[in-house]
Amino acid sequence: MSSNLHPMLNVAIKAARAAGAIINRAALDVESVRISQKQVNDFVTEVDHASEAAVIETLLTAYPDHAIWAEESGKTHGKQGSDFVWVIDPLDGTTNFIHGFPVYCVSIALLVRGRVEQAVIYDPTRNDLFTATRGRGAYLNERRIRVSKRTDLRQCLIATGFPFRPGDNFNNYLRMMAEVMQRTAGMRRPGAAALDLAYVAAGFTDGFFETGLSPWDVAAGSLLVTEAGGLIGNFTGESDFLEQKECVAGNPRVYGQLVAMLSKYSKFASAGEKAQVRQAAAADLVAPDTRPSATLDDGQ
The answer to whether 298 is annotated as binding is: no
The answer to whether 91 is annotated as binding is: yes
Sign of CA dihedral 22, 23, 24, 29: positive
The answer to whether 284 is annotated as binding is: no
The answer to whether 168 is annotated as binding is: no
Using an 8 Å Cβ cutoff, are 93 and 192 in contact?
A: yes
Using an 8 Å Cβ cutoff, are 184 and 156 in contact?
A: yes
The answer to whether 206 is annotated as binding is: no
Alpha helices in the chain, H assignment, sequence order: 7-27, 46-62, 94-98, 170-181, 193-202, 215-227, 252-262, 271-286
As to burial, measured by CB atoms within 10 angstroms (0-12 exposed, 13-18 middle, 19+ buried), residue 166 is exposed
Backbone angles phi, psi at 213, to 5 degrees: -85, 150
Between β-strands 157-160 and 143-145, what pairing exists: parallel, antiparallel or unpaired?
unpaired
* Non-local CB neighbours of 43 within 8 Å, separated by 6+ positions: 35, 36, 37, 94, 95, 98
Backbone angles phi, psi at 133, to 5 degrees: -125, 135
Binding residues for Mg(2+): 71, 89, 91-92, 217
Binding residues: 71, 89, 91-92, 217
